[in-house]
Amino acid sequence: MLDSLGRDIDYIRISITDRCNLRCRYCMPEEGVQPLSHCDVLRYEELLRLTRAAVRIGVRNVKVTGGEPLARKGCIDFLRELKSLPGIEHVTITTNGVLLESALADLVQMKIDGVNISLDSLSGETYRHITRQDAFPAVWRAIVKAVEAGLRVKVNCVPIAGLNDMEIVDFALLTEDMPIDVRFIEFMPSGVGESLEGISGEEILGRLTEAYPDLIQDTRRRGFGPARYFKSSKMRGSIGIIDALGSCFCPGCNRVRLTSDGFLKLCLFHDKGLDLREMLRSGADDNEIEAAITEAIFRKPERYTLGGITGPDMSIKNMSQIGG
């Protein structure tokens, strides 16, 4: 459907859990965050009911996220249900990859449309430092096997100064060996890891252009998100840069987010939204839910409010609950 600014909202990111088996320094504090109680998290039937309503008003593409989605029991069955919903064109998942290897056969069998895997270092030691867990071998194995199994794989990396930014070109090299996209996500202030310093999209691009002088923009559509893609003749896949703070994606924004406790978030950087759990659990019927979602999307904020404005919107709060 179109919002009040004429933007076509056809993509929803659904966070199915706020829990995670890693503690990435830029996303979660070491002790974790107070998890939602199980009864506050939407059941899969509730998530499916909301997804059906979203599809009726024009949503076509769904990304399942977390916390760590594969850490929630039943995630694979939920993905299968989404894949079979009439009207849905693409179902993808974003995962830290720790539990991915044993899920691969099911993902291939259901013909999942893409798997985004977060990986912030190619060194086991640095990986452990950033995520506070010793899971690099499991994630790496899962990436290699996912590619071998023919899945469409994107590797997501958040470059942080002094931690992993010296690996930017090493990450790009992965696209020479494997037909994958490697995407660099600019670090965003989330109230966690405040001492960390991200690397701007422009800086990342500069370093990559030095390593690949023939790097040019790749304009083929490669997903539903705001990444800008680049390609060199040496690469089998592409490089993506997601610089939410540097570029303003807002005029072309196509998405809304559903948090695991059922809040429809209209913009990553705004608190505005709609409490769908309250509606579901107070007996609203499908027409009422559909009308409320339509009305909420219509008033999606025009743009994010960083860019010099200080205040509560400077922090996007709890990335692990929103799902990125």
CB of 69 to ligand SAM, least distance (A): 6
Window contacting ligand SAM (CB under 6 A); options: 91-99, 145-153, 174-182, 267-275: 91-99
Residue with tokens 């469409």: 152
If binding is defined by CB under 6 A, does position 22 make contact with ligand SF4?
yes
From the list ligand SF4, ligand SAM, none, pick the one residue 28 interacts with, judged by a Cβ distance below 5 to 8 Å according to partner type.
ligand SF4
Q: Using the rule CB under 6 A, is 118 a contact of ligand SF4?
A: yes
Render the burial of 117-148: b for 16+ CB within 10 Å, e for the rest: bbbbbbeeebbeebbebebbebbbebbeebbe
User: Which residues are CB-neighbours of 28 under 8 A, at least 6 positions away?
Assistant: 20, 22, 192, 320
116 binds ligand SF4 (CB under 6 A): no
> Which of ligand SF4, ligand SAM, none does 121 bind, CB closer than 5 to 8 A by kind?
none
- Give the interface size with ligand SAM as a residue count (CB under 6 A): 21
State in angstroms the smallest separation of the CB of 232 from ligand SF4.
28
How far, in Å, are 15, 59, 101, 202, 288 from residue 181 at the CA level?
23, 25, 19, 18, 40
Residue 239 to residue 232: CA distance in whole angstroms? 9
Residue labelled with tokens 């005029």: 251
Contact present, 19 and 71 (Cβ < 8 Å): yes
- Taking CB under 6 A as the criterion, the residue among 9, 14, 16, 20 binding ligand SF4 is 20
Q: Which lies closer to ligand SAM via its Cβ, residue 29 or residue 87?
A: 29
Helices and strands in the chain, H and E counts: 10, 12
Q: Which of residues 96-115 bind ligand SAM (CB under 6 A)?
A: 96
Q: Which CB atom, from 118 or from 238, has the smaller least distance to ligand SAM?
A: 118
Q: Is position 240 an interface residue for ligand SAM (rule: CB under 6 A)?
A: no
Residues 143, 194: Cα–Cα separation, whole Å: 30
Residues 6+ apart with CB under 8 A from 167: 121, 122, 123, 126, 157, 159
Amino acid at the residue 18: D
User: Of the ranges 65-73, 146-154, 211-219, 260-268, which one interacts with ligand SAM (CB under 6 A)?
Assistant: 65-73
Residues that bind ligand SF4 (CB under 6 A): 20, 22-24, 27-28, 66-68, 96, 118, 320
Summarize as ranges the residues that interact with ligand SAM (CB under 6 A): 20, 26-27, 65-68, 94-96, 118, 156, 158, 185, 187-188, 190, 319-320, 323-324
